[in-house]
Amino acid sequence: MSRLNFGADHHGTAIQERASRNLTLFAVAFAFALLASFVWQGSAYAAAVDSSAAQRTAQQLLGRLGGSLDGATAGTPVLVYSSESGRPEYYIVPLERGGRTRGLAGVSVDGRSWQWYTDTYSKSRFPSVSRGQAKARLGAEPRMVSAPDNKLYWTTASGSGALLSADDATKIRTRVQVQAAGNTARDSRLGKYADADANDPLSSSGSGGGLTTQATLPVAKDLTMPHDYQVTSYFCGPAALQMLFDHYNPAIGSQYDIAKVSNAKDWGSWSGAYADDLVRTARFSYLSSAVQDATLVGFKERALGYGALSNFWSDGGTADPDYATRYTDLKQLIAGGHPVLVLTWYDSKHVVGHFRIVKGYDDSTGEFIVHDPWYSAPYYGPNVHFQQTFFVDNLWTKFSRWGVTMSPWKVGVSAPASVAAGSTVTVSATVRYVGPHPMEGRAPVRNSQATLSVPSGFRVSTSTVSLPSITQSGTTQVVSWEVTTPANFSGAAAMHVVAKGQYDGASTSYGDYTDWVGGTGSRTMQVTFSSGENDPATLGFSPTSLTSAPNEWRTVRATYSDLDGAADLRSVLLLANGGVSGTKALYASYSQATNLLYLRNAANTAWLGGVRPGTATVLDNGYSRLDVAKTVVTASGSTLTVDWAVSESPLSSGNLLNVYLQAEDFGGAITPWVKHGTWLVNRPPAAGVVPDAGQVGVTGLPTAIRSTYSDPDGIADLEGAQLLLNTQLAGSGAVWLRYDAPQRNLYLRNGDNSGWLGPVTPGGTAKLDNGRAILDGKATSVSVASGVLTVRWGVTFKQSFSGRTYNLYSVAADQGTSASALPWLWKGAYSVSATPVPQAHTPALARTVPGQSFTHIEKYFDADGASSIARADLLVASTTSPTGGVFVRYEANTNKLYLRDSANTRWLGGITPGTRTTVTNSGVTLNALGTQISGSGGTLTVRWALSYKPLLSGRTYNVYAQAQDAFALQSGWKRVGRLIVNRPPKIGALSPKSTSSAAGALVTFTTTYTDGDGVSNLSRVWYIVNNQPGASRGMLLRYDVGTNRVWMRKADLSGWVGGRTPGSAIKVSTGYGSLDFGRTSVSRSGEQLTVRWAVTFASGMKNRTLYQYMSANDVTGAQTGAVTMGTWRVR
pLDDT tens profile 766-776: 999 999 999 99
Q: What is the mean pLDDT of residues 1-9?
A: 32
- Least Cα distance to 1072 among 1053, 1100, 1046 occurs for 1100
pLDDT digits (tens, 9 = 90+) for 428-459: 999 999 999 999 999 999 999 999 999 998 99
| Beta-ladder partners of 610 | none
pLDDT at 122: 83
Which residues, including other chains, have CB under 8 Å from residue 730's CB and lie 6 or more apart?
none
Helices (H) and strands (E) in the chain, counts: 7, 84
Q: What is the mean pLDDT of residues 633-639?
A: 93
Confidence of residue 189 (pLDDT cuts 50, 70, 90): very low
Pick the CATH number of 985-1130 from 3.30.1330.60, 1.10.645.10, 3.40.50.1100, 2.60.40.10: 2.60.40.10
Say yes or no: domain 695-833 is CATH 3.40.50.170.
Answer: no
pLDDT at 180 over 50: no
pLDDT at 43 over 90: no
pLDDT at 529: 64
Chain mean pLDDT for the chain: 88
The CATH number assigned to the domain with range 410-528 reads 2.60.40.10
pLDDT at 972 over 70: yes
Backbone angles phi, psi at 967, to 5 degrees: -100, 15
CA 251 to chain centre: 32
pLDDT at 62 over 80: yes
The CATH number assigned to the domain with range 3-26+187-406 reads 3.90.70
Confidence of residue 11 (pLDDT cuts 50, 70, 90): very low
pLDDT at 36 over 60: no
168-182, 270-284, 620-634: least confident range = 168-182
pLDDT at 376: 86
Q: How far is CA 778 from CA 63, 77, 766, in A?
A: 21, 37, 7
pLDDT at 175: 62
Confidence of residue 22 (pLDDT cuts 50, 70, 90): very low
pLDDT digits (tens, 9 = 90+) for 369-426: 999 999 888 888 999 999 999 999 999 999 899 999 999 999 999 999 988 888 889 9
What is the pTM assigned to this prediction?
0.48
- Least Cα distance to 960 among 944, 979, 973 occurs for 973
pLDDT at 633 over 90: yes
Q: What 3-state DSSP class applies to 436?
A: coil
The letter for the amino acid at 917 is: T
pLDDT at 88: 93
> In whole angstroms, how large is the CA radius of gyration of the chain?
46
Pick the CATH number of 837-981 from 1.10.10.10, 3.30.200.20, 3.40.50.720, 2.60.40.10: 2.60.40.10
pLDDT at 53: 93
Q: What is the mean pLDDT of residues 349-367?
A: 93
* Buried residues in 923-954 as b, exposed as e (16+ CB within 10 A): bbbbbbebbebebeebebbbebbbbbbeebbb
pLDDT at 83: 82
Q: What is the mean pLDDT of residues 870-886?
A: 95
pLDDT at 469: 96
Identify whether the C-beta of residue 782 lies closer than 8 Å to the C-beta of residue 723: no
Q: What 3-state DSSP class applies to 1102?
A: strand
Which residues, including other chains, have CB under 8 Å from residue 818's CB and lie 6 or more apart?
none
The count of other CB atoms within 10 Å of the CB of residue 1065 is: 8
Which residues, including other chains, have CB under 8 Å from residue 213's CB and lie 6 or more apart?
332
112-116, 190-194, 567-571, 778-782: least confident range = 190-194
pLDDT digits (tens, 9 = 90+) for 601-624: 999 999 999 999 999 999 999 999
Confidence of residue 672 (pLDDT cuts 50, 70, 90): very high
* Interatomic CA distance for residues 308 and 430, integer angstroms: 20
Backbone angles phi, psi at 311, to 5 degrees: -155, 150
Which residue did the predictor score with more confidence, 197 or 1062?
A: 1062
pLDDT at 24: 27
**Which CATH class, in words, describes the domain spanning 536-681?**
mainly beta
Confidence of residue 564 (pLDDT cuts 50, 70, 90): confident
